[in-house]
Amino acid sequence: MSWNVIGHDWAVKQLQTAIVHSRIGHAYLITGPAQVGRTTLALALAQAVNCTDQYLNNRPCGVCRSCKLIASGRHPDIYLVAPQVSARGRSTLKIDQIRQLQKDLTLAAIEGRHKVAILRHFDTANPSAANAFLKTLEEPPPNVILILTASEADAMLPTINSRCRTFNLRPVSTQLIHQTLENKGTLSPDQAQQIAHLANGRIGWALQAAADPEIWQAHAAHLTQLQEILGQNRVGRFAIAEKLAKKPEQLHGRLQTWSTWWRDLTMLAWGDLPTEKLINIAHYDTLNRLVAAVPQEKLLESLKQTDQAVWQLNRNANVRLVLECLFLSYPKVK
């Protein structure tokens, strides 16, 4: 058996039981934070339902032709549909994509027993796309399994939710991520620890960052820029807002990083945060210095404003204006 999923043991166990008893549903919704392993679990399920190993409890075996084709992204009956990203960095699952998938799913399977459609980030589907998909959920073609992923079940149409079996994946523990990175043996102990904390439960992010130093170096660069902003007066802050507003597609990652910074500070300011829970553990001393220098209400306010900015940008607000307001809300720190 080779589910190849790190963490989420309970979900694997339930799906495993369903495979053994041939009680596979026709629609699943896998929710949880980004990069926590939703698509990985979906692909493992796609492998399990198409695996040719003679023993049901050994599926997915990871070595049969079908398992290998799915692992390499070349199985003709597995459809992976992801939202399209606009120039502004906004992701949307569109009705054209749903219609194309619906056409594809009416054709008989070529290779496997089941056609499996994995619709990633279904919470980005616009209403017309979600409604079009509802028809497929209500009357799925035979031998088709639909798997949706999303951040939260609540963000979806109830009519979609109610037709799916839901698996809500929780963040993977820092300890398990740390151990996984150490077992890979490609990082120094310090790096493994830092990345495990930065991952904040996102095992997918940790594995990517372990393979590509640019990913976690970008995190460090975002923090450096935040320190620069905090040191500036109003004029300096507006100049940085203007510069950043020219590349809106890069803002999401930047704001997410800043949010982790304020979150660490807020939690430190409000009490004894076990270091296990700190995201920016590499900056432990700086964090403590700021906690001593900035009133705790101001730290909480900065966290709220940062998350608010993410929310506004996701709704097509004026980028420069959002950044200017955000930067004005940040404390001045020398």
Binding site for Zn ion (CB under 5 A): 51, 53, 60-61, 64, 67
Query: Do 2 and 62 contact (CB within 8 A), yes or no?
Result: yes
**Shortest distance in whole angstroms from residue 12 CB to Zn ion:** 15
Q: State which residue, 60 or 248, has the beta carbon closest to Zn ion.
A: 60
**Shortest distance in whole angstroms from residue 89 CB to Zn ion:** 38
**Shortest distance in whole angstroms from residue 68 CB to Zn ion:** 8
**Shortest distance in whole angstroms from residue 38 CB to Zn ion:** 21
Q: State which residue, 68 or 304, has the beta carbon closest to Zn ion.
A: 68
**Shortest distance in whole angstroms from residue 64 CB to Zn ion:** 3
C-alpha to C-alpha distances, 101 to 41, 166, 221, 273, 320, nearest whole angstrom:
21, 22, 40, 47, 37
Element at 244 (helix H, strand E): helix 234-245
At a CB cut-off of 8 Å and minimum separation 6, what does 294 contact?
265, 331, 333
Q: State which residue, 55 or 270, has the beta carbon closest to Zn ion.
A: 55
Q: State which residue, 64 or 290, has the beta carbon closest to Zn ion.
A: 64
Q: Alpha-carbon distance 248 to 17, whole Å?
A: 45
The residue assigned the tokens 């041939």 is 22
Using alpha carbons only, give the angle 264, 269, 274 rounded to the nearest 5 degrees: 60
For the sheet containing 27-31, what is the strand order?
78-81, 115-119, 144-150, 27-31, 165-168
**Shortest distance in whole angstroms from residue 37 CB to Zn ion:** 20
In three-state secondary structure terms, 159 is helix
Q: State which residue, 41 or 153, has the beta carbon closest to Zn ion.
A: 41
Q: Alpha-carbon distance 26 to 45, whole Å?
A: 12
Q: State which residue, 64 or 195, has the beta carbon closest to Zn ion.
A: 64
Q: State which residue, 118 or 192, has the beta carbon closest to Zn ion.
A: 118
Q: State which residue, 116 or 164, has the beta carbon closest to Zn ion.
A: 116
Query: Do 279 and 198 contact (CB within 8 A), yes or no?
Result: yes
**Shortest distance in whole angstroms from residue 8 CB to Zn ion:** 20
Q: Which residues are bridge partners to 78 per DSSP?
A: 116
Q: State which residue, 60 or 112, has the beta carbon closest to Zn ion.
A: 60
**Shortest distance in whole angstroms from residue 59 CB to Zn ion:** 6
Q: Which residues are bridge partners to 166 per DSSP?
A: 29
The C-alpha torsion from 28 through 32 and 36 to 40, rounded to 10°, is 10
Burial of 139 by CB count in 10 Å (0-12 exposed, 13-18 middle, 19+ buried)? exposed
**Shortest distance in whole angstroms from residue 287 CB to Zn ion:** 47
